C-alpha cells in the first residue's frame, strides 16, 4: 500500500530541519487544517443545511456576506483561539484583528485569513476556498497591535489555502517549496498527493475578467491583446479560463500553468483584491513554485500594507508573463 503521508507527518518531517522548531507550528497548522475540513463538510452539504444565500449584512469590504462566510470565519477564529502560540488573528470579514484568548500577549504567531474566498459563487456550486498566512511577531509579552500584521509578504513564515472543489485540497509552503494534500473523507486526513508543486512553464491559461476590458489601462489591454493574438509560439495553446473565485483560478493555473490578472483599472485603481488576505499568501506560494506575483510595477511580497484591508492589483503566474505584463505597463500606462 502506498505510504500515507498525512499533513501532520509532513509538517513534523519538515520541522526536523529546523532545530528551533518547538512543535508549535505543527499544532498551529493542524488546527488550521481541521478548520478547513469542517468548512469543507459545511460547503459540501450547504444546500441541505439551509446555509446557502446571504445574511443580509455587508462586510468591511462592502461585500454582501453569505451565511457560509460567517460559519467559516467563526470556525477559523474558534480553532485558533485556544492556541497559546497564536497572539491574534485577522480576517478579511472583520474590521479589526482579534487577540486570542490563549496567547494574546505570549503568542509569537499572527494568522491572517480570507475564510471563504469566492463565496459569492457558493449558490452556484462553484469551487471556493480558504486562504491563510502566518507571520511572527517582532515582540512578545505585550498586546498585539494592528501594526504587527502590516509587514511585507517577504516576512511570512507560511502561507496556504484550501480549495473546496471536486476534491478538497490543502496547499501550503513554509519557504521550502509547495506541497499539496488531498482530503481523504473516509479517514478525515489530508494526504500528500502533489509533492513539490512546480508551476509549469507553459502559459496554458489566461485568467482575467474580460467584461472589465473597457475599464483597463493601456498596459493591460496591450498584454491581453498580445496573448490573444498568439503573437508568440508560447501562446499558441493559451486558453481563456476565469472562474471568478480567486483560489480556484489560482489553483488551476498552478496545476496547468498560466497567468491570473486582477489589474488596476479605472474603477479599482488600487486593485480589488486584498493585499494581506489574498495577494501576499498566494504570492509566497507562487514564488515557491517558481512563478512571480506583481501589482504591475512592484513585487507583491515587497509591498508594505498601509492598513489591514489594503488592496492591490494582482498579476500572478508564469514569471515570463508577469515580467512581460510589467514591461507593457511601463510603456502604455
Beta strand spans in 45-85 (E): 54-58, 64-66
Q: Cβ closer to ligand P6P: 161 or 262?
A: 262
Residue whose entry in the numeric block shows the C-alpha cell 474580460: 210
| 100/130 with CB nearer ligand P6P | 130
- Other residues' Cβ atoms within 10 Å of the Cβ of residue 74: 14
Please list every residue from 197 through 216 that binds ligand P6P, using CB under 6 A: 209
Dist. CA 326–CA 321, nearest whole Å: 9
245 touches ligand P6P by CB under 6 A: yes
Q: Of 92 and 287, which has the nearer Cβ to ligand P6P?
A: 92
**Residues 105 to 124: which contact ligand P6P by CB under 6 A?**
117-118, 120
Which is nearer to ligand P6P, 11 or 254 (by Cβ)?
Answer: 254
Residue number, 130 or 174, with CB nearest to ligand P6P: 130
Q: Binding-site residue total for ligand P6P (CB under 6 A)? A: 8
3-state secondary structure of 180: strand
Q: Does 154 bind ligand P6P (CB under 6 A)?
A: no
Contacting ligand P6P (CB under 6 A), which of 53, 195, 244, 269?
Answer: 244
**3-class DSSP assignment, residue 225:** helix
Cell of 140: 512578545
* Radius of gyration over every alpha carbon of the chain, rounded to an integer in angstroms: 19
Residue 126 is a binding residue for ligand P6P (CB under 6 A): no
CA distance 156 to 228: 35
Measure the CA angle with vertex 301, ends 297 and 302; round to 5°.
Answer: 65
Interface mask toward ligand P6P for 256-275; x: CB under 6 A: ------x-------------
Helix 7-15 to helix 24-44 angle, to the nearest 10 degrees? 160
325 and 259 in contact (C-beta within 8 Å)? yes
User: In the bound complex, what is the minimum distance in angstroms from residue 318's beta carbon to ligand P6P?
Assistant: 18
Is residue 246 close enough to count as binding ligand P6P by CB under 6 A? yes
Compare residues 100 and 207 and give the one whose CB is closer to ligand P6P.
207
Which residues lie near ligand P6P (CB under 6 A)? 117-118, 120, 209, 244-246, 262
Amino acid at each position: 500500500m502506498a505510504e500515507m503521508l498525512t499533513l501532520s507527518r509532513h509538517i513534523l518531517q519538515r520541522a526536523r530541519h529546523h532545530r528551533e522548531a518547538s512543535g508549535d507550528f505543527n499544532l498551529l497548522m493542524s488546527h488550521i487544517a481541521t478548520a478547513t475540513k469542517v468548512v469543507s463538510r459545511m460547503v459540501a452539504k450547504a444546500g441541505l443545511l439551509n446555509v446557502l444565500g446571504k445574511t443580509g449584512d455587508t462586510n468591511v469590504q462592502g461585500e454582501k456576506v453569505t451565511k457560509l462566510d460567517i460559519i467559516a470565519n467563526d470556525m477559523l477564529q474558534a480553532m485558533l483561539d485556544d492556541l497559546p502560540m497564536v497572539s491574534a488573528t485577522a480576517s478579511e470579514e472583520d474590521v479589526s484583528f482579534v487577540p486570542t484568548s490563549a496567547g494574546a500577549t505570549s503568542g509569537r504567531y499572527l494568522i491572517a485569513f480570507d475564510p471563504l474566498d469566492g463565496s459569492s459563487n457558493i449558490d452556484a456550486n462553484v469551487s471556493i476556498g480558504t486562504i491563510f498566512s502566518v507571520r511572527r511577531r517582532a515582540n512578545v509579552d505585550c498586546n498585539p497591535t494592528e501594526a504587527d500584521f502590516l509587514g511585507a509578504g517577504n516576512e511570512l513564515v507560511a502561507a496556504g489555502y484550501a480549495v473546496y472543489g471536486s476534491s478538497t485540497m490543502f496547499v501550503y509552503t513554509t519557504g521550502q517549496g509547495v506541497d499539496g494534500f488531498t482530503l481523504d473523507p473516509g479517514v478525515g486526513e489530508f494526504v500528500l498527493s502533489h509533492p513539490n508543486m512546480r508551476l509549469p512553464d507553459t502559459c496554458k491559461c489566461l485568467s482575467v475578467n474580460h467584461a472589465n476590458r473597457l475599464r483597463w489601462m493601456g498596459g493591460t489591454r496591450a498584454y491581453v491583446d498580445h496573448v490573444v493574438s498568439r503573437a508568440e509560439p508560447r501562446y499558441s495553446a493559451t486558453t481563456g479560463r476565469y472562474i471568478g473565485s480567486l483560489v480556484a483560478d489560482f489553483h488551476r493555473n498552478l496545476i496547468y500553468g498560466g497567468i491570473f490578472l486582477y489589474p488596476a483599472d479605472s474603477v479599482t485603481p488600487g486593485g480589488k483584491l486584498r493585499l494581506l488576505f489574498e495577494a501576499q499568501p498566494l504570492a509566497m506560494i507562487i514564488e515557491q513554485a517558481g512563478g512571480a506575483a506583481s501589482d504591475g510595477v512592484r513585487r507583491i511580497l515587497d509591498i508594505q500594507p498601509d492598513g489591514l484591508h489594503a488592496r492591490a492589483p494582482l498579476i500572478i503566474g508564469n514569471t515570463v508573463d508577469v515580467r512581460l505584463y510589467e514591461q507593457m505597463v511601463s510603456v502604455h500606462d
